Structure 1
């Protein structure tokens, strides 16, 4: 150790030195014990000779051990204590770091909830429709990509076929309704059909869900999907075009975002089929639905929610 005080050993050598002293001490004590026992059984003249030779052999060793004990100063034990303190401090800092990581994660989750609630509040306030806010209370793993339950029902003015949305876009429509809860059929289910229009071309079509496979959903690049069909073969459609609800179906009001075209299945160059079809990626993340809105009608002039 650079700058160690005279007469003191570096901290890193102390443990090795103590181990060596302990071994030598044990060895010396064993030898002395054997000699003492043997000496007791011998005549006085022999015992005197043994004492004399023992002092000659072991005297320097005992003196060296005594010197080592005298030169291990209190400062050396202080260095041991300092090392223990440093180890304890490192452990404490690690625990503190883990706690801070948890707090940062919780703060991030809380901020996401706040942002989500603010988005819902703005949607309800700015929407041209009368809506009922609802919370998702149930989702069966077998029908995960088909249906969910919400905590609103007949008692809240909910009826079958009412549109269900989030601030991002279309979720689906109301199915079975009970007094205090209702079933929502998701737009990615094969039983949900939505009249739609492609924004860039104004082409009309029908969006239908692609169904599910063993309750896990029919995935396209890791996400459940739908498709838009009954598009004219003459229509100019392509990827990244936006799909919205149209006013043709009578269930969904026009202008609600549905999804984005990702791939053309049957195009206008094909020699088969009466219509074009395209895959649609929903704008809503169906794996993370917690709150929805049920559209119950159109706001009256001056009506606030």
Structure 2
């Protein structure tokens, strides 16, 4: 470097030091001007320093954030499971409250039972319940829910019983059509494993004026089923060779039954 350039550089630094150390009004004005010029460079330097610090500290922060995220995910899953259990418990509690209310209001002596098993091969014909002879259950006892007639008991063991469903063609019920004097015999019909079979109300008068939606109830005739149990609603009326026949949509959803009541035969009061 040339000697004159070195001298000029030294004079510049001396002047700069003087400007930032002297306290005269003139130097303060110069200091302000210089600071205005240098301010953008100072801010850029501070920003670059912060970026460098962030890059250096990111691995630690990322690990911490990952741990927090995993902890929050586990907590969320736990709360979701808790919420599901809460809703299941609430639903079950409401169901039992409803069953208890129905039992208390019923004119019959009832034993509550739970469906233990049903086979795919006889889905629409029978179920097994967890009550038997030691619980006072006998053969041919009506089985009901709040919605209506489910069927009747078949084979009975000490602690379990078979229930023959109303959708089985072997379960026949004397029935009447609401709002008319018409009576017939209601029974199921053999169906496939996946298709819910309709009920059939047979031996009706061919001249009967029957509209869809009419309610069907047990008539009490025959001595097995008490009168007034809901059986279903009329879907259609068909003309057969010598009689009429109604297609009936069941009152009970047989595909979803879980809990039932067995009516004690000694409590039945026939009209």
TM-score (ref. length: structure 2): 0.73
Counting only pairs closer than 5 Å after superposition, residues 112-131 of structure 1 correspond to structure 2 as 112-131=91-110
Q: Residue 227 of structure 1 contacts residue 280 of structure 1 at CA under 8 Å; is this kept in 2?
A: yes
Which string of whole-angstrom CA distances, capped at 9 and with x for unpartnered residues, describes residues 13-70 of structure 1? xxxxxxxxxxxxxxxxxxxxxxxxxxxxxxxxxxxxxxxxxxxxxxxxxxxxxxxxxx
Counting only pairs closer than 5 Å after superposition, residues 218-297 of structure 1 correspond to structure 2 as 219=195, 223-264=196-237, 266-267=238-239, 272-297=240-265
Structure 2 equivalent of residue 57 of structure 1: none
> Partners of 2:121 and 2:244 in 1: how far apart?
32
Q: Residue 226 of structure 2 contacts residue 268 of structure 2 at CA under 8 Å; is this kept in 1?
A: no
Q: 1:9: Cα distance to partner?
A: 6.7
Structure 1 equivalent of residue 3 of structure 2: none
Query: Does residue 173 in structure 1 map to residue 152 in structure 2?
Result: yes
Q: 1:184: Cα distance to partner?
A: 0.9
Q: 1:165: Cα distance to partner?
A: 0.6
Query: Does residue 97 in structure 1 map to residue 109 in structure 2?
Result: no
> Partners of 1:197 and 1:8 in 2: how far apart?
91
Instruction: Report the secondary structure of 1:105's partner residue.
Output: helix
Which string of whole-angstrom CA distances, capped at 9 and with x for unpartnered residues, describes residues 236-276 of structure 1? 21222211111223211010111122233x15xxxx52222
TM-score (ref. length: structure 1): 0.66
Q: 1:162: Cα distance to partner?
A: 1.3
Larger deviation, residues 194-203 vs 252-261: 194-203
> Partners of 2:157 and 2:266 in 1: how far apart?
23
**Structure 1 residues 190 and 6, CA, compared in 2 at 3 Å: closer, same or farther?**
same
Q: Tell me the C-alpha RMSD between the 2 structures.
A: 2.6
Structure 2 gap ranges (5+): 1-42
Structure 2 equivalent of residue 69 of structure 1: none
